[in-house]
Structure formats: structure tokens, C-alpha cells
Amino acid sequence: MPANSLKGLILTLKELGKPVPKPYSADKYKEIDASGKFVLRLTKSLHAKLIKLAKKENVSMNFLAASLIAEGIGRKE
């Protein structure tokens, strides 16, 4: 991921008053056998919203989805 994309995401989250997810330590998750991939089914309308937001933020849909998931998990920790 280009550094500018990460900086842009952090600035956008701060401007929106949303928390910036903390980076995780790979060591913390060594005991979990995770491939880093999973399939997620969405409604067509949610998928369309994700596509539009990713284009607006100039990031991939995968990066945006991963960032939103990380943000949500960060709130729970």
C-alpha cells in the first residue's frame, strides 16, 4: 500500500472523528492459523455503496473493507 494512501486514510478518519485502527502485531496472532482470505456475501445495495466509497476515497474495495472491519474490531477491543 502506498504511504500516501495510508496517510490519506488516517487524515480522513481523523477529519470524520472516527478512530484510527491500531496496527496489530503479527506475534499476537501466531497461534491462529489464518490464511488472510475469506469470502463475504453482501446485499447488492451494500456492495454498490462499498464500490462508490472506495472510488471516492481512491482506494481498492478490498483495502476499504479491511479498514472498516479493522475499525470496527478496534472499537470492540
**Domain range enclosing 56:** 38-77
Reply yes or no on whether the pLDDT at 24 is more than 50. Answer: yes
Mean pLDDT of all residues belonging to the chain: 83
Residues whose CB falls within 8 Å of the CB of residue 20, separated by 6 or more in sequence, listed in order: 10, 13, 14
Amino acid (1-letter code) at residue 77: E
Asked whether the predicted pLDDT for residue 1 surpasses 50, the reply is no
Confidence of residue 41 (pLDDT cuts 50, 70, 90): very high
Residue with the bigger pLDDT between 15 and 2: it is 15
Residue 50 lies in a domain: yes
Q: Is residue 27 part of a domain?
A: no
User: Does some domain include residue 30?
Assistant: no
Indicate whether 45 belongs to any domain. Answer: yes
Question: How many domains is the chain built from?
Answer: 1
**CATH classification of the domain holding 62:** 1.10.1220
The answer to whether position 77 is within a domain reads: yes
